[in-house]
Structure 1
């Protein structure tokens, strides 16, 4: 890779993170051990809820959440189109049917009015995606969910450390899903988790992540028992002590990481304010944005993307609307016109580099290159 290349996101690892992992490698427990419990307790406290269930990645977390609420054939789940495909794929893993609701034109978060219009007698849950790291309008979504007797699930894979009206992401829905991929707010290499205030759901998710078995090896070692019961069909979605040790070390730095991201976002905001051709997404005044992504809308997006890449700046696009992917077109007959606001936004959105270690010099290089690119007209 070009040493001058600036990725859109990357992990921030320091010597104490590495030492935390080495300590586990020297210990007796590499998986189902004490670091898993420590990480889950620390994550639940950070998220402002009672229970955390760690799993192998964010996709596994989404699948586990769908299993926990009993999604099956004939059930409809309302989802936004502007998200990574895994959000919607997890509905299919359980045999459910995704129903796409459009997004707000300013924030690109799921539009509660569109959600309300999609509810049918078969609807079982609403999935709200905290796109780019900004929390959705959970008060309104909760009212809708409660009125119709639905579960509210938060895909907060972008928003660990963010908050809505003073309440942390993790405390705003029935189930909240996090990801710890390297570009996310913290990393455990790969990893994910679901947090909840419901003990029954937490217990069901712990069983599901362990092949449908009620106890794991660490729990049996504590009681001196060999016996275990498989009570349902589950998966091996466990997160290791190695990964949890890294997650514990990273989670302690979350406020610092979010602070860096917010400062970079302010720098971008100020730099782009004079340009009518560069439009950052709107931010609700009562949201504490986590800035997993910094997204702008620009004209001639594909040309500008190419200009940034030519300048060794790793701009990206998040996301192709899920309903426009070939698999969804072919299986469900979705296509253009289903979510017109999301589709129009997709043609213009561009994600700029943002991560805690992004230097001021590199921020300025991104700013100057984007200004130059948008200033050029198509030949």
Structure 2
């Protein structure tokens, strides 16, 4: 019997609805007290001094790069295995993303190759915590310190994850989280910049609001800025979600554990690797298929059975405009390309039932049994 099992679904209850309605019944829909409260709570949760809420993780990354004042032609080292925004945010400011291939287990940047990419134009490192698995921040911060580089932590997929007991987003010069509906907590659309540097926080706060400084008049603009503000309704939703973060992370961990147990009996499926010292917050649940299995055919057959699925991620360097701009070609980052051809995101959200998990696992097992 065919079932419909969506790839993701936000976990919204009465607490969230009531919080949003309270804003709608107030005089403030934007530039009000709820955004300030959300920033305060996020900063306290991660253990960082300053939080600047924005309307998306992409906006946050852009503001961070711009606030660093990197001249066109400077370089920042990052990963080709990510959502494209982590590299695009550099191109927005004409900074060149320099890719380093990934570790085949964690799928994060391979720090053993990091120093080989550093040259006179290198100004920073932008690690991405892929699928919520923190990158090797100890190695990254050590290398950055030795070479005088800024670390921009793309933690958009890792809210609540920990690395050796430290929260993702707490170790770098500046970090960004995102709260799209499939993230651990959601504000609908939205994100936040976290930093202990008052200068960066102040610049980002100004630039998200059309370049106005604190205390300036509405038509006084100190610098080039943008409308990257988060509205009050979104912040209220975020506050309600954050108040449930322990419950939410426990739900996601339990579902991932069920998948791990049920999938380990199916030939051809490699369950997600979690390195020692890592506490995953589980953004998505992505398996890898064994060589010889046509992932795209498997996806098509899962879709026909009503099961949401997706290939996470396509290599950034092979996106058409990156190939055109930089001359990248297949084979440039072989680990990334090999991994990207085998990844398969399965349905994953807070309230996924065991019945749905069984349906997904049984259907996948039946499809793979034909190979």
1:46 aligns with: 45
Measure how far apart 1:76 and its partner are. 0.4
**Mean CA deviation greater in 86-95 or 265-274:** 265-274
Aligned mates of 2:115, 2:281 — CA distance in 1: 27
- Is the contact between residue 214 and residue 228 of structure 1 (CA under 8 Å) also seen in structure 2? no
Determine whether 1:164 maps to 2:163: yes
Alpha-carbon deviation of 1:80? 0.5
* Displacement of 1:103: 0.4
Question: Which residue in 2 is equivalent to 1:246?
Answer: 237
1:360 to 354, 359, 363: 354
Q: Find 1:296's aligned residue among 280, 287, 304.
A: 287
Asked whether 1:235 is paired with 2:226, we answer: yes
- 3-state SS, counterpart of residue 227 of structure 2: coil
Q: Secondary structure of the equivalent of 2:209?
A: coil
- Picking from 261, 270, 276, the partner of 2:252 is 261
Q: Which residue of 2 aligns with 1:99?
A: 98
Tell me, yes or no, if structure 1 residue 60 matches structure 2 residue 59: yes
- 1:343 corresponds, among 337, 344, 357, to 337
Q: Which runs of 4+ in 1 moved over 4 A?
A: none
C-alpha deviation, 1:5, in angstroms: 2.1
CA contact (8 A) 1:51 1:202 kept: yes
Alpha-carbon RMSD across the aligned residues, in angstroms, is 1.3
* Residues 274-320 of structure 1 deviation map (CA, whole Å, 9 limit, x = unaligned): 33410013111101011111111112211111111111110111110
The answer for unaligned runs of 5 or more in structure 2 is none
Tell me the equivalent position of 1:150: 149
**Pairs aligned (count):** 367
> Mapping of 1:14-53 within 5 angstroms?
14-53=13-52
Contact 2:3 2:306 in 1 (8 A): yes
**Matches of 1:127 and 1:321 in 2, distance apart?**
16
Aligned mates of 2:4, 2:329 — CA distance in 1: 35
Match of 2:263 in 1: 272
Q: TM-score by structure 2 length?
A: 0.96
TM-score of the pair, normalised by structure 1: 0.94
| Alignment partner of 1:11 is 2:17 | no
1:223 matched to which residue of 2?
none
